[in-house]
Amino acid sequence: MDCIFCNIIKGHVPSHKVYEDDNSFAFLDIAPVSKGHVLVIPKKHYVNLEDIPEEELALLIKAVKNTGKILKEKINVKGYNVQENNDPVAGQIVPHIHFHIIPRSDDDGLKLWPQEGYDEGEAEEIIKQLKITN
C-alpha cells in the first residue's frame, strides 16, 4: 500500500506535526483553507468512517478535541470547523480517514454549504426508505 498518510506517520514524508499520541497523529494541511488548518489521522490505516472500529474512532475524536484545544490555546483560534469527507463523492482525496480542523475568525469570509428545505412529503418518503419509525 502506498498511502501518503501512512508514509507521513512512518516519517518517510515530511510533515509539520501539531499533535501525536499512541493512536493518532495531527499535522498541518499542505493546502490549508485557513492558517492552522490541521488534519488528524489514525496511525492505523482505515479508508473511511465505516472501516474504523468504534473504539479507535473514539480515540481519534479525542485527538481531534485535543488538537482543537491546542489551536485555541497556542495560536488564539476563536473557533473551528471539524469536517470528515467520507468517500470520493464527498470530497475525500486521500483514502485514509482523517478529520479536518479548520480555524475560523470573524472576518475569514468562509461560508458553510447552502441549506435548503424539503418539498411537501419528501422528508416522509426519505424516512420510509430508511425504514425509521417514530
Residue-range domain boundaries for the chain: 4-130
Query: What CA–CA distance (Å, rounded) separates 43 from 46?
Result: 9
**CATH number 3.40.50.920 given to 4-130:** no
Write b or e for each residue in 54-64: b if 16 or more Cβ atoms lie within 10 A of its Cβ, otherwise e: eebeebbeebb
Q: Is 37 a catalytic residue?
A: no
**Which 8-state DSSP code applies to residue 48?**
S
Grid coordinates of 23: 493512536
Catalytic residue from among 12, 16, 37, 98: 98
pLDDT tens series, the chain, 134 aa: 689 999 999 999 999 999 999 999 999 999 999 999 999 999 999 999 999 999 999 999 999 999 999 999 999 999 999 999 999 999 999 999 999 999 999 989 888 888 889 999 999 898 889 986 65
pTM: 0.90
Q: Which residues contact 48 (CB under 8 A, 6 or more apart)?
A: 86, 87, 92, 95, 97
